[in-house]
A = this chain, B = another copy of it.
Amino acid sequence: MLYFESDYMEGAHPEIMRRLAETNMEQTSGYGFDPYCEQAREMIKAACGVQDAAVYFAVGGTQANAAVIDALLKGWQGVLASAAGHIAGHEAGAIEHCGHKVITLAHTSGKIAAETVQAYLASYYADAAHEHMPQPGAVYISHPTEYGTLYTADELAAIHAVCKAHHIPLFVDGARLGYALAADGTDVTLPVLAKNCEVFYIGGTKAGALFGEAIVFTKPELAAHFFSVMKQHGAVLAKGRLLGIQFQTLFTGDLYRTICRRAIVTAHKLKQSFTECGFRLLMDTGTNQLFVILPNKTVKQLAKDIAFQIWEPYDSEHVVARFTTSWATTEQAVDAAAEILRRECELHAKEA
């Protein structure tokens, strides 16, 4: 069986495992107050080019999203997000559990436009009864989006400008950020991202770490009591250093980008196999997730050898299927998948 189901099916990059083993019996203080976390924070701040950023480590993405948004919003506020946003659909109401509404906006392949945000805010404040509606208190976007698409630096800057004009923070969910940074032709680097939002996180779980997300507040004043917020959310890891060690490793010698780049390369290869077989992609993402429009019959056939995710129905005879590569995907796996696709193609050709 070949697995392209998700980018969190393996453990961690071997170098991370080595470092965890190496430091295993050391004794350090808990909760992130240890030298490893300290060093990882410094490395991340340097990589982002924001020397006074406040960096916190969380175990997972839903946790990071809920804690950050809860910290940013006042009680009566909601958060603006793409209707396809992870917080809108797949976190079991974690934001609402904290008392806040997720106010959804229209999107294109997962991306929201600055104009859409601006229009919502303008119409909100124009409404005489706007105080009867949750006040938009922050904007949440994902980079890459849930569809693997990418914002350009200009698009980010435009959304950020709208936020700043309304004095609300922009929060970027970077659960798969590594694959965005490593994508072809992107102009969004860590410093560009850091400059264009108030808080974002660097996803580790899906990009080489055992687990962990590094939350970067580029405006440290927004994080004044973030430790307490995290504790209240059950999001403070007792042995915090486990997160510090992992991010220290990922930010040593460009490891984070390097290993994520592999996923881009294998995704490209896989994409080519699909298109050579005549299958269409829902959209071109440039990152490690491929959304392929497949005939129901092909799905059934492929599923015998390849594990992937049925994303959504496309029409009565097709579905959108998601194939995901990761830092751990091997060339062999992609070649084997190509071979299976080719066979499937030929079968098709014969039948047609």
> A25 in the interface, Cβ–Cβ < 8 Å?
yes
**Distance of A83 from chain B, by nearest CB (Å):** 10
Bound complex: CA A65 to CA B205 (Å): 24
> A232 in the interface, Cβ–Cβ < 8 Å?
yes
- Cβ-defined contact, B237 with A59, below 8 A: yes
- Cβ-defined contact, B131 with A94, below 8 A: no
> A89 in the interface, Cβ–Cβ < 8 Å?
yes
- Cβ-defined contact, B60 with A231, below 8 A: no
As a 0/1 sequence over residues 73 to 109 of chain A, the CB contacts with chain B under 8 angstroms (1 = contact) are 1111010000000000111111011111110000000
**Which residues of B lie under 8 Å from residue A65 when comparing CB positions?**
234
> A275 in the interface, Cβ–Cβ < 8 Å?
no
- Cβ-defined contact, A89 with B11, below 8 A: no
- Cβ-defined contact, A239 with B210, below 8 A: yes
Number of copies: 4
Instruction: In the complex, identify which listed stretch (A15-23, A161-169, A283-291) lies at the interface while the others stay far away.
Output: A15-23
Bound complex: CA A97 to CA B74 (Å): 11
- Cβ-defined contact, B131 with A60, below 8 A: no
- Cβ-defined contact, A93 with B66, below 8 A: no
| A interface, size bucket | 35 or more
Cβ contact of A233, chosen from B27, B89, B97, B134, cutoff 8 A? B97
Bound complex: CA A23 to CA B25 (Å): 21
- Cβ-defined contact, A30 with B9, below 8 A: yes
- Cβ-defined contact, A99 with B97, below 8 A: yes
Q: Which residues 163-219 in A have Cβ within 8 Å of B in the complex?
A: 205-206, 210-211
**Which residues of B lie under 8 Å from residue A131 when comparing CB positions?**
92, 225, 227-228, 231
As a 0/1 sequence over residues 310 to 346 of chain A, the CB contacts with chain B under 8 angstroms (1 = contact) are 1000000000000000001000000000000000000
- Cβ-defined contact, B76 with A228, below 8 A: yes
> A298 in the interface, Cβ–Cβ < 8 Å?
no
**Which residues of B lie under 8 Å from residue A14 when comparing CB positions?**
24
Q: Which residues 30-84 in A have Cβ within 8 Å of B in the complex?
A: 30, 59-67, 70-71, 73-76, 78
Bound complex: CA A10 to CA B23 (Å): 9
Residue of B nearest to A228 (CB): B76
Chain A positions within 8 Å of B, measured between CB atoms, are 3, 5-6, 8-12, 14, 17, 20-21, 23-30, 59-67, 70-71, 73-76, 78, 89-94, 96-102, 128-129, 131-135, 205-206, 210-211, 225, 227-229, 231-239, 242, 310, 328
